Amino acid sequence: MTSSKPYLLRGLYEWILDNDLTPHVIVDVNAAEVDVPPQAIQDGRLVLNISPQATRDLKLDNGFVSFQARFAGSSRDIWLPMNAILAIYARENGQGMMFADAGDDDPEPPASDEPPSRPSGPRLRVIK
C-alpha cells in the first residue's frame, strides 16, 4: 500500500494557500538524500517556506518535494525525500499536521515464523 503522506501534504498545502496563509514544512535534514543549504540547518531540522512567492518550480511528488529557493541571495535547488518531511503547517496560525518520524512512512510488519494469532474478541457464527 502506498503512503498517505504525499496526499495529505498536497491537500494541506492547497488548504493553507486557499486560506491565504503561508505553508511551511519541517524537514529532518539527517534523512538520506536530503539536499539543503547547510548554513540553514538548526538542531538537525530545517523549516522551509514553500509558498509560491518563496519557491520556483515546486513539485510535490509521491516520493519527494523539490523546488528552487533563495538562501542568502543565492538561488539553490532543494530536494527532499518524502520520508524527511516531518510536518506542514501555516506560519500565521500554526495549523497543520505532524507526520511520523523520518523513515516511518511505510512501516513493515515484524517478520515472524509463527502464523498470525487470531484475535480473541467477539466472533460471528452461522446458526442453523
Question: Which ranges of the chain would DSSP assign to H, the alpha helix?
Answer: 5-18
pLDDT at 57: 96
Return the H-helix or E-strand segment holding 22.
Answer: none
Give me 119's grid cell. Answer: 484475535
pLDDT at 114: 52
CA angle, 45 then 71 then 19, to 5°: 70
pLDDT at 128: 66
* Percent of the chain's residues with pLDDT above 70: 78
CA end-to-end distance (rounded Å), the chain: 39
pLDDT at 28: 92
- Residue 44: strand pairing partners: none
CB atoms within 10 A of CB 77: 12
The rounded distance, in Å, linking the Cα atoms of 12 and 97 is 8
State pLDDT tens for residues 70-114: 988 889 999 999 999 999 999 999 999 999 754 444 444 444 455
Catalogue all structural domains in the chain, each as residue range(s) with its CATH number: 5-93 (2.30.30.220)
pLDDT at 107: 45
